Amino acid sequence: MQRFLNTNTTHTKTSITVRKYKSQDKLMWDTFVTQAKNATFLFSRDFIAYHKNRFTDYSLLIFKEASLVGVVPANLEGDKLYSHQGLTYGGLVLNGKSKLEDVSDYFTAVLSFLHSEGIDSLLVKSLPTIYHLLPSDELQYLLFIAEAKLVRTDVSSTIELAHALKIKSNRMEGVKKAKKQNLRIIEGVAFDEFWNEILVPNLKERHHTAPVHSLDEIKELNLSFPNSILQFNVYDGNKIVAGATIFETKNVAHVQYISANADKQTLGSLDFLFEYFIKNRFADKKYFDFGTSNENLGKNVNKGLQYWKECFGARSIVHNTYEVKTSNYSKLKDVFI
């Protein structure tokens, strides 16, 4: 089904069309995402598809006349649309030409379409601004106008590498320990060792949980995105003692997984690895992002983990999640005066 919105502008009358994603749209979708001003590889169809059996895909395409001007990665659960429960973030993906009034038209059309489909509300976990290639906070403003509710906030720890703070001495002591022990960092595709010997056992023992991505899933994703999903393992001799999985985008090196064995304090394995990331391997990025330290649906912060990240000079940014009633599309009609 398609939904049309006629919008009167100063010069022309334009038709905005919204419809659901179809498999034959893959090339068009992926091409748009690679050229968008506020997208990462997580919005590619191959990444979205890795967990297709867990979610009911309800992604949307937005057209202005015959041109694709926006996409929304999304899944449906009951009468709520999420952008996207299987992704770290979501929202309205836009091209660089989109101006505020354009985005207002697009978002109005999306909400109107969802309302006509009997979907009660849209939940969006906003893409943090560190990932924007151009300023792209239009949706943040329009959510305010549409009276969206802030339903969750997570705190992520981030370093702006051009203005990085000095790493604290307690972390550098760990680096010295690691060098004294002759620890080695190896970048490659040894996901098996990290998952089976470090990550999975630690998460099971400490948190009674498992990684979001299974070993098979992360290996499949690495094959699809070999330059974006990177594995770094730390070895004491031939024994793996720590590791981290990095999701690399144009502006950001983001830590997806981090874990070490019980000797991490004695060996300084994680201090050694992250000092290498910050000062060497990812020093040319705009941002190094450790990820969140939240628990209990964002309402608590793991104090020790947050302190460890901040000792490297990381400071806080937020990931906000909003819920907006689709019936509120009418509130957007009088934005421009």
Domain-wise residue ranges, the chain:
2-152+321-332, 166-312
CA dihedral 262, 268, 269, 273 (to 10 degrees): 150
Given a cut of 90, is residue 1 above it in pLDDT? Answer: no
pLDDT of residue 10: 30
192 phi, psi to nearest 5 deg: -55, -50
Q: 51 pLDDT band (50/70/90 cuts)?
A: confident
pLDDT of residue 7: 40
pLDDT of residue 36: 98
Coil, strand or helix at 73: coil
Q: What digits encode the pLDDT tens for the residues 246-287?
A: 999 999 999 999 999 999 999 999 999 999 999 999 999 999
Inter-CA distances, 122 with 75, 141, 150, Å: 10, 15, 12
157 phi, psi to nearest 5 deg: -105, 120
Mean pLDDT of the chain: 94
Instruction: Tally Cβ neighbours within 10 Å of residue 290.
Output: 23
2-152+321-332 and 166-312, same CATH topology: yes
Report the candidate in 97, 105, 154, 152 with the shortest Cα–Cα distance to residue 124.
Answer: 152
Given a cut of 70, is residue 171 above it in pLDDT? Answer: yes
Q: What digits encode the pLDDT tens for the residues 295-318?
A: 998 999 999 999 999 999 999 999
Across the beta sheet with 229-236, the strand order is 56-57, 75-77, 80-83, 121-125, 315-325, 149-160, 287-292, 252-260, 239-248, 229-236, 184-188
Bridge partner list, 230:
246
In this prediction, residues 174-199 reach a mean pLDDT of 97
pLDDT of residue 13: 41
| Alpha carbons 321 and 298: distance in angstroms, whole number | 10
| Alpha carbons 283 and 294: distance in angstroms, whole number | 26
Inter-CA distances, 129 with 87, 132, 152, 205, 319, Å: 16, 5, 17, 35, 10
Coil, strand or helix at 317: strand
Across the beta sheet with 13-20, the strand order is 2-8, 13-20, 60-64, 67-72, 93-94
Report the candidate in 242, 229, 231 with the shortest Cα–Cα distance to residue 197.
Answer: 242
pLDDT of residue 94: 98
Strand 149-160 and strand 315-325: pairing?
antiparallel
Given a cut of 80, is residue 150 above it in pLDDT? Answer: yes
pTM for this entry: 0.92
pLDDT of residue 12: 35
pLDDT of residue 9: 31
Q: 208 pLDDT band (50/70/90 cuts)?
A: confident
Correct CATH for 2-152+321-332 of 3.40.630.30, 3.20.20.80, 3.30.1330.10, 2.40.110.10 = 3.40.630.30
Task: Tell me the angle at which helices 138-145 and 100-116 cross, rounded to the nearest 10 degrees.
Answer: 50
Whether the upstream peptide bond of residue 319 has omega within 30° of 0, thus cis, is no
Task: Tell me the angle at which helices 169-180 and 303-311 cross, rounded to the nearest 10 degrees.
Answer: 80
| Alpha carbons 2 and 264: distance in angstroms, whole number | 55
Bridge partner list, 246:
230, 255
| Alpha carbons 153 and 292: distance in angstroms, whole number | 10
Instruction: Tally Cβ neighbours within 10 Å of residue 45.
Output: 20
Given a cut of 70, is residue 164 above it in pLDDT? Answer: yes
pLDDT of residue 2: 55
Amino acid identity, position 28? M
Task: For the domain made up of 166-312, give the CATH fold.
Answer: Aminopeptidase (3.40.630)
In this prediction, residues 125-135 reach a mean pLDDT of 96
Helix (H) or strand (E) holding 91: none
Contact 191, 213 (CB under 8 A): no
Q: What digits encode the pLDDT tens for the residues 54-109?
A: 999 999 999 999 999 999 999 999 999 999 999 999 999 999 999 999 999 999 99
At a CB cut-off of 8 Å and minimum separation 6, what does 299 contact? none
Given a cut of 60, is residue 187 above it in pLDDT? Answer: yes
CA dihedral 297, 298, 304, 306 (to 10 degrees): 140
Q: Token pair for residue 215?
A: 């070993």
Given the structure tokens 């000092």, which residue do they identify?
275
CA 237 remoteness from chain centre: 35
